[in-house]
Structure 1
Amino acid sequence: MTSYRSSRMLATALTTLVAAPMLAVALPAVSAHAESQTVASIARNEVGGTCSDYNCQYPGAWCAEFTRWVWNKAGANTSGISAAAVSIYQYGKNKGTLHSTPQVGDAVLYDRDGSLNDGDADHVNIVVAVSGDDIQTVGGNESGGVRFRSWFNWKTNSSPVGAGRALAFVGPAGLAETPTAPVSKAGDLFHATRLVDGSWEGFAPLNGFGGAAFFNASQESIAATPDGSTQTLATGNDGKLYHTARYADRSWTGWAPLAGYDGAADFAAKDQAITGMGNGDAHVMAIGNDSKIYENTRFKNGTWAGWTPVGAWQAKKIATAGLPDGSTQTLIVGNDGNLYHATRSVEGTWTGWNAV
């Protein structure tokens, strides 16, 4: 987890503010700006980015620089925003967009002290969805990069990155847009978490690829890995395979297309499956558009082994499961409609397909 001590030190060094009254009683309840789906779309599209992508000057504390970059790309007036998170608070006061309830496109300011009276802020990120008191955010300098955070109650929960409570919301000034809420359609992917006590968190849409609000897919599969993350594989409506990971801290890597076989740019598949392995890797099986069977591995460090064909067999459907000894068991429905099974050893060798 990235430390935010540098954010606090930077804010204090770069910004001098007149002490403000407690936000809980001082801020208006209604925003001075309309919801910005444009800001949300841009922010979602940057999930997975790093400091260098935004020409940030302070690699240890660049959350405000990321927010400024997103707002600027959306066409907002960002004058007055520095690399200090608390400069966004002053910006909101000056522009008349400081308020106490969230809207899409807002910057949300966090502080461990429970007040911005000391003239600093520990963190800032961008609100990309609102449902009652629950929000979704995208922020820079979170776990080393730009991360998406799924639903959390901003009134009762601390920041998803441990940077204190949400104390204020600031809208971007100068945007000329007519807000249009994205509409889900059949095939869009949603995610929910079943907690240890048996209760469920509500379903939320998974971010789309390339800035889309939703990810529309013809098929998806999911697997858990020992570090507490989940690995999701999906076949987009373009027929290509995409992957995203949800870490234990609830952040997402964002969708990325899988590179193709033998130098191809993409991998298109008729069917696919993924399983978590005891060593932290995730093993992927897929049926290519040539109906042949391929395997791939996502290592626990986030890199990929690349596709390898598994013999010359062809199949219609595929499923796979990892075992504690490091082997995998795979089932296919062959082109003859029959069910076949094969085992992949820890060393990577296959037994060959046998009819079930």
Structure 2
Amino acid sequence: MRAAGMAVAVVLGATGIAALPAQAATTTDVVNLALANVGGMACGTNSAAATASTAAAPGNGGQPEYWCADFVKWLWANSGVADLNGLTAAARSFYVYGANRGILSGTPTVGAAVVFSNNRGDTSAGGGGIHHVAVVSKVNGDGTIETISGDWGGQSGTEAHFASTSHVIHNTPAFAGGVGSYSSTMKMYVEGYIPPPGVGTGSTRSAFSEGRGILYYPQGDGRLLWYDHTGYLSGTQDWTGNSGTQVSQGWNEYSTVFSGGNGVVYGISPNGDLHWYKNTGYLSGTTDWAANSGVVVSHGWNEFREVFAEGDGILYGITQDGRMIWYHHTGYLTGTADWTSNSGAQVSQGWDEFSHVVGGSDGIIYGVDADGHLLWYDHTGYKSGTPDWTANSAAQVSQGWDAFAHIFSGGNGILYAVSQNGDLHWYDHTGYHAGTPAWTGNSSALVSHGWNN
């Protein structure tokens, strides 16, 4: 546990903390990194043989100190969070960080930091105030959560003795996640959540398609690159000569970026604002955008673990507990904040069982389950927001899709899959309208490289 206001000097040693690969991280990766280090100690070594790192301040006379805040900060740093300014060894620094950036939330989300106090409602730096910070590892449908904590369960004695005998622990059983709730698991009160900025459900660095062979690839430094796969209908390695052109910048301020079709691109800010952009040069790769690009068209989109569009202003969000929520942005062509009155309707549930959810077109949605099976769904109510699906929805149409780091749709049955080494593979599901396992013979063709940069 971590007392407010105390500096921490922690050595995250060379083989007890497993580092993520250099490719884009998501909030799920934050949790996986934390889980990989359950049982680890502050001065232990990590199984990935990562470079040792230390906090800047010597703190407790050079002795081990409380290190829960350093652990969460380390998770964020290794998951692509660029802005760590203001995060210190004090657990309360996360609360201040969130408040100052407008991202302090009362809603638990996977990968978010959660702060705890000894006295309900006391967010001060005093003895009854914020005393501990952990990372949310699971959000259940009933609002309960599980967390992973650094510096937990140390032996009584001096601060140095506690810190040197404590571990990374998976805090279970699940407990109430509402702000102000007392957790018998943690023996403290929940005081708020802070999502990691720039780390999204799909990550800003996940490529996506506009359809018609047009692909966008946001980079870690914020550049948005444009590609035209002229071989998208046949699976050949043909691309226009200007593929790879930078058409915009500054996209690393968003936690999630995805296509809305017809040159429309949406970006979700860490605070949940949904921003609208229109690349009027999307067919040719020019840097032309609508004058009102960047306008906020909605709020509250940081509650979703995944967000995708089906075209024509139809958007879906999947909540942490697996509910699928439908929206119709009627202002999607012009960037107005107009939505149908039934936007926000729940049309399905159980989608938290999938590692990937991919929006196709015309109501077709794919999910990859834990065994790598590719399941097909047809939301016949996709235009109106009703919970109507074909009877054969959930049909298995392929397998082995758990081998891919990222999957996205090119429209009309075309799927792109990025392998762990960055190879881009092309698939054509000819049975996408009916849910049959029919694919072209050259499906899985390698069409490009370097899509994990």
TM-score higher than 0.5: no
TM-score in terms of structure 1 length: 0.40
Question: Which structure would you say has the larger RCO, counting Cα contacts within 8 Å and 6 or more residues apart?
Answer: 1
TM-score in terms of structure 2 length: 0.32
Higher helix share: 1
